[in-house]
């Protein structure tokens, strides 16, 4: 059964770059959309973007200028970089496995990133 695990610093300073990684275990990285979603404290879910295993990316237009998502097929992980962070970027960041049906059927447990 596929499992996802986020990793990265829990605290980032304003104006710096937030970098997170998600490791995929127990399944193939092929044929899926590797996805980042976040949730600010007490708020709803926000799609950040995703990367197809082939490398094609799709980003939330509201964040597009600050986002980069990459995938490392050999190491079976994918990464998120979010530049020029502010306190508004404080959130739990989830990585997920998206399918061609446009759903996330597997989620990481989430990691809280605080910008302060």
Partner 1 sequence: IQMTQSPSTLSASVGDRVTITCRASQSINNWLAWYQQKPGRAPTLLIAMASSLYSGVPSRFSGRGSGTEFTLTISDLQPDDFATYYCQHYNGYWGFGQGTKLEI
The residue ranges that bind partner 1 (CB under 8 A) are 35, 44-47, 50, 58, 60-61, 94, 98-99, 101-105, 107-110
Residue 41 vs 116, nearer CB to partner 1: 41
How many CA atoms lie less than 13 Å away from 108 in the CB half-sphere? 25
Q: Residue 34's CB: how many other CB atoms inside 10 A?
A: 26
Residue 37 vs 115, nearer CB to partner 1: 37
Minimum gap (Å) between residue 102 Cβ and partner 1:
3
d(CA 46, CA 34): 15
Minimum gap (Å) between residue 7 Cβ and partner 1:
15
Minimum gap (Å) between residue 106 Cβ and partner 1:
8
Say how many residues make up the chain.
Answer: 116
d(CA 27, CA 30): 9
d(CA 45, CA 59): 15
Residue 8 vs 14, nearer CB to partner 1: 8
Minimum gap (Å) between residue 109 Cβ and partner 1:
6
């Amino acid at each position: 059964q596929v499992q996802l695990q986020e990793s990265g610093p829990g605290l980032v300073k304003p104006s710096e770059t937030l970098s997170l990684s998600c490791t995929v275990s127990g399944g193939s990285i092929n044929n899926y959309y590797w996805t980042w979603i976040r949730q600010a404290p007490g708020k709803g879910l926000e799609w950040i973007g995703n990367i197809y295993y082939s490398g094609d990316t799709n980003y939330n237009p509201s964040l597009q200028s600050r986002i980069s998502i990459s995938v490392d097929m050999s190491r079976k992980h994918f990464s998120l970089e979010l530049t020029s962070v502010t306190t508004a970027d404080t959130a739990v960041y989830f990585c997920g496995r998206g399918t061609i049906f446009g759903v996330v059927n597997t989620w990481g447990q989430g990691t809280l990133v605080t910008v302060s």
